[in-house]
Structure 1
Amino acid sequence: MSLAKQFNTRPLYQQVADEFISRIVSRQWAPGQSIENEADLARSLGISLGTVRKAFDILSEHRLLDRQQGRGTTVADLDSASANGRFSNIRDLQGRRIRGDVEVGAVSLALPTPRVAAALGVNGRTPLVRFERQRFHHGRCFMVEEVHLRADASAHNASPQDLRRIALERWQGQDLATRKCETVGAAPAEERDVAIFGIGRMGAVLTLERVIYSYQERPLELRIARCHLGDDLTYGAT
């Protein structure tokens, strides 16, 4: 590691956290891997133990590391089912986060509307990966999502198969998603809601608009969702 590649005014512990983040993104630190202890890391990097601990605090806060007393520190498995559901505020009656069984519809590249462009911090000429997701719980569809996903320039010439792979992988392996911002509302049921959720025409649906951000506060994904939670699911923001 070299923290002197270029002039950097950020505190050293944040630069060290950035270095550790890059190791996770590149899989140099693989999911589930045990990390050498903080003192050994400090010696190998030529920095203080306190600096390494502050960097680890940042990664732990973002749930990128799992630190357990007496068992050391391991890299979080961001591909696991529990990690994939860490941004969900949908819970079952036992309070467990529910990601649901996911079905992805047709995937395409599309220019964003002004609303989408503003949410993802892109201009209106930047193609985004667009697709629909449906989420099921015990065989019942409880959420339909319109998803807009930032992708690198290679996606602009991608085949339909490659676009679908991007939609399934999303931001994993490209960036580290660490937080979300979600807006909650309600709306009268539309014809499609009646058909998909099996609700009455006079019913209502929960609406969710969520942006997921990277560690560097870069917007990665916008989802606009309509939900019918039924009797066995609840919404609880945390």
Structure 2
Amino acid sequence: MSSLPLPAAESGAATGAGASPPAPAFSPLYQQIKGLILNSLQHGEWKPGEAIPSEMELAARFRVSQGTVRKAIDELAADNLLLRRQGKGTFVATHAERQVQYRFLKLQPDSGDARGEAPAQRTILECRRLRASADVARALALRSGDAVIQVRRVLSFSGVPTILEDIWLPGHAFKGLTAEQMASYPGPTYAMFELEFGVRMVRAEERLRAVLPDEQQAHWLAISSATPVLSVERLSHTYNDVPMELRRGLYRTDTHHYRNELN
């Protein structure tokens, strides 16, 4: 395993005798350690679902105190990037974990909770490789014309088409993605992205507005084109804020509602 660059040392631990003093640090030491752990996650040193080294091992690796490592891990756990398990250690969070997989699912049935609802039935309308339009390229930090995978699908609950989605993914990261994979994977789509492509979505931002569907969209959702739907545009990022998915969905809200918790 290649060694990582060391952060500014605590009490001079990483500075040899007679060495030039380190450049001033502009972020707390635990934030530097957090950044180093994030880099290891981004480069796949520890896969989703795997245990990371203990706090003591990481402290020795980075030449800092165990308390500094603990503070960095606390923040990563609060960000849902790591998951602590009592008596077992700290693990890379995965969308296959029940407490994590619903983090991006905001559409709730009017009666009950999404966790008790049967999984959505997926109908893939289209899955193709094409050149990115200017707006898609801009959102995904690509060049206009770079390859992307576009997926169009309908998600149905209890046989009722409820969500129509267009998804764009960078072609270089999702090479070989097929409609069959998208339709047949038994778990959450984001868990499939982790398992099959090594891409974990860790953060997303959304924009919402009410719109009227066009005739084709209304047909796929089995509603009238005069029925308002909720338009949700989501940009999802992997580690270190790298954009990896643009998703535009139309949501029926006659049996479901969009629910968010604000802290």
TM over 0.5: yes
Q: Residue 135 of structure 1 corresponds to which residue in structure 2?
A: 155
Q: Distance in 2 between matches of 1:23 and 1:210?
A: 26
Cα root mean square deviation, aligned: 3.3
Q: Residue 33 of structure 2 corresponds to which residue in structure 1?
A: 16
1:164 lines up with 2:178 in the alignment: yes
1:193 lines up with 2:217 in the alignment: yes
What TM-score comes out, normalization by structure 1 length? 0.78
Unaligned runs of 5+ in 2: 8-21, 183-191
Q: Between Structure 1 and Structure 2, how many residues are aligned?
A: 230
Q: Distance in 2 between matches of 1:42 and 1:4?
A: 11
Name the CA shift for 1:67/1:105 in 2 (closer, same or farther; >3 Å). same
Equivalent positions of 1:35-184 (< 5 A) are: 35-68=52-85, 72-80=89-97, 83-92=100-109, 93-96=111-114, 100-152=120-172, 155=175, 162-164=176-178, 168=182, 169-170=192-193, 173-184=197-208
Radius of gyration: which is bigger? 2
* AA matched with 2:131: L
2:257 equivalent among 228, 234, 237: 234
State the secondary structure of the residue aligned to 1:91: strand
Structure 1 stretch displaced more, 75-84 or 180-189: 75-84
Name the CA shift for 1:57/1:102 in 2 (closer, same or farther; >3 Å). farther
**Which deviations, in whole Å up to 9, do the C-alpha atoms of 1:70-94 show, x marking residues without a partner?**
6643332333465443212112233
Give the % identical residues. Answer: 25
Q: Residue 159 of structure 1 corresponds to which residue in structure 2?
A: none
State the secondary structure of the residue aligned to 1:177: coil
**Which deviations, in whole Å up to 9, do the C-alpha atoms of 1:181-232 show, x marking residues without a partner?**
111111123222332222234211111111001221111111111121322x
Contact 1:3 1:15 in 2 (8 A): no
Structure 1 stretch displaced more, 21-30 or 40-49: 21-30
Contact 2:210 2:231 in 1 (8 A): yes
Q: Distance in 2 between matches of 1:174 and 1:70?
A: 27
